[in-house]
Amino acid sequence: MSVEIYWGSGSPYAWRVLLAAEARGVPYESRLLSFSAKEHRAPAFLAINPRGKVPALKDGDRIVTESLAIMHHLDGLGSGPALFGATAEERTRVLEWCSRIMSDLEAAVYGVCRPLMAAKPEADAAAKAEAALPALHRELGELEAALAGQDWLAGGPAPSAADFAALPFIKYLERAAGKEAARGLDHGVEPLAARYPRLAAWVARIEAMPGYERTYPPHWRAG
């Protein structure tokens, strides 16, 4: 029996879990919830995750929430390349990167993107985003440096949970940079390859992965 993955379009946490399932080769039933219809707050989903947050995974009677834990659970199910490394040393590296991404990269990306992505951006949205740019470029610079001489953030021959944890935030950044509120802002992230060529090549490697298209946020295709 395949697992069920509950997710929402555009949620970076859900996206990383879908990428991990595809890469690890875990068959899953897709349960796409509509945020606008508040399906994540409906009793049927609250019975799965009382916190009303996606992603969530159902594996028989077992429920797993929190994207990092879900990726770990998927690692135990699939037969593709390991998501958390094959040795203790590799696991340490993957967790080190996941931790950095989930604290520092996420905060830096949200600092820039939140003002730009607001449904009704405030008049000072660009100024707020601009103030957050130094922290963002510090993080992007570190990702760029890590990718010197290796294809994946934690090293190794295949993408790990660390790569899947990070990718949605880079895509979110590219999307925010194209928003009207970002016009005139010298954000330095679009096109990504201009300042971060290794990071852009890393994005392209993940985009070329079989199954990537199935994970792409459906509502992003509409613009």
Ligand X SMILES: N[C@@H](CCC(=O)N[C@@H](CS)C(=O)NCC(=O)O)C(=O)O
Among 5, 20, 23, 53, binds ligand X (CB under 6 A): 53
Residue with smaller CB distance to ligand X, 153 or 161: 161
Fill in the per-residue mask, 13 to 52: x = in contact with ligand X (CB under 6 A), - = not in contact.
Answer: x--------------------------x-----------x
Among 31, 45, 55, 117, binds ligand X (CB under 6 A): 55
Residue 149: CB minimum distance to ligand X, A: 30
Among 9, 67, 160, 215, binds ligand X (CB under 6 A): 67
Residue with smaller CB distance to ligand X, 89 or 96: 96
Among 11, 23, 45, 171, binds ligand X (CB under 6 A): 11
CB 196 within 8 A of CB 143: yes
Residue with smaller CB distance to ligand X, 38 or 183: 38
Among 4, 39, 66, 190, binds ligand X (CB under 6 A): 66
Residue 38: CB minimum distance to ligand X, A: 9
Residue with smaller CB distance to ligand X, 8 or 121: 8
3-state secondary structure the chain: CCEEEEEECCCHHHHHHHHHHHHHCCCEEEEEECCCCCHHHCHHHHCCCCCCCCCEEEECCEEEECHHHHHHHHHCCCCCCCCCCCCHHHHHHHHHHHHHHHHHHHHHHHHHHHHHHCCCCCCCHHHHHHHHHHHHHHHHHHHHHHCCCCCCCCCCCCCCHHHHHHHHHHHHHHHHHCCHHHCCCCCCCCCHHHHCHHHHHHHHHHHCCCCHHHHCCHHHHCC
Residue with smaller CB distance to ligand X, 66 or 130: 66
Q: Is 73 in the site for ligand X (CB under 6 A)?
A: no
CB 15 within 8 A of CB 55: no
Listed in sequence order, the residues at least 6 apart from 142 whose beta carbon sits closer than 8 Å to its beta carbon are 100
Residue 107: CB minimum distance to ligand X, A: 13
Give dist(CA 110, CA 88) in Å, integer: 32
Q: Is 54 in the site for ligand X (CB under 6 A)?
A: yes
Residue with smaller CB distance to ligand X, 147 or 161: 161
Binding site for ligand X (CB under 6 A): 8, 11, 13, 40, 52-55, 66-67
